[in-house]
Amino acid sequence: GGWEGRDKKTGQMRKRVGRLLEYASIYSGQGRPQKRPVSARALAGQFTSELVHFNPLIDNKIGDDAIISADPELLERVFDNLISNLHKHADVAQPMSLSCRQVGQSIVLELENGIAENAAAAKGNTMGQKIVEYIMQIHGGSVAVRQKDNRYAVTLTFAMKN
């Protein structure tokens, strides 16, 4: 009884401390982003491959010549956060879609999914959202989140490299 509860709380605290340290490390500029030219189509493809077990409807209209300046390791953290949130909050019985497209000089990835009925119980973590926002900001991009009824959408926008 008592030890299990303490072990669980200890695990939760370790996760929170880890998130805070990750945020502090990124936000303080330690380990500056290692940006390089990255194929936006390949980046979208990598994210798509990580979503495969959710069976999403995928619409990737990014051309082979679309390049962004990015730190792939930092963007992996963004995708890891999104996938973690899907595991916690998505209703896998509802359709999920990923739209990847070029809009002017930007690349836009939009992930939409249903929200599980028990999602309120698996309360989100704003630290993860802050990390995603900051990583997108240092890439000259943005993240937008919207929720309507039982649907949730996240839009990541990246500036294309000139």
pLDDT digits (tens, 9 = 90+) for 5-23: 777 778 767 776 665 666 5
What is the reported pLDDT for 44?
A: 94
Say how far residue 76 (Cα) sits from the centre of its chain. Answer: 8
**Dist CA 154 CA 111 (whole Å):** 5
Q: What is the pLDDT of residue 31?
A: 58
Say yes or no to pLDDT of 42 above 60.
yes
Count how many Cα atoms sit within 13 Å of the Cα of residue 113 in the half-sphere of its side chain: 24
Backbone torsions φ then ψ of 2, nearest 5 degrees: -65, -40
Which of 69, 68, 75 has the alpha carbon at shortest distance from 26? Answer: 75
Alpha carbons 72 and 54: distance in angstroms, whole number: 23
End-to-end CA distance of the chain: 60
Q: How far apart are CA 4 and CA 15, in angstroms?
A: 17
Digit-coded pLDDT (tens) for 81-131? 999 889 888 998 999 999 999 999 999 999 999 999 876 654 555 778 888
How far is CA 29 from each of CA 20, 25, 117, rounded to the nearest angstrom? 14, 6, 39
Residue 27 — pLDDT band, cuts 50, 70, 90? low
Q: Which residue has the higher pLDDT, 120 or 140?
A: 140
**Which SS3 state, helix, strand or coil, does residue 133 take?**
helix
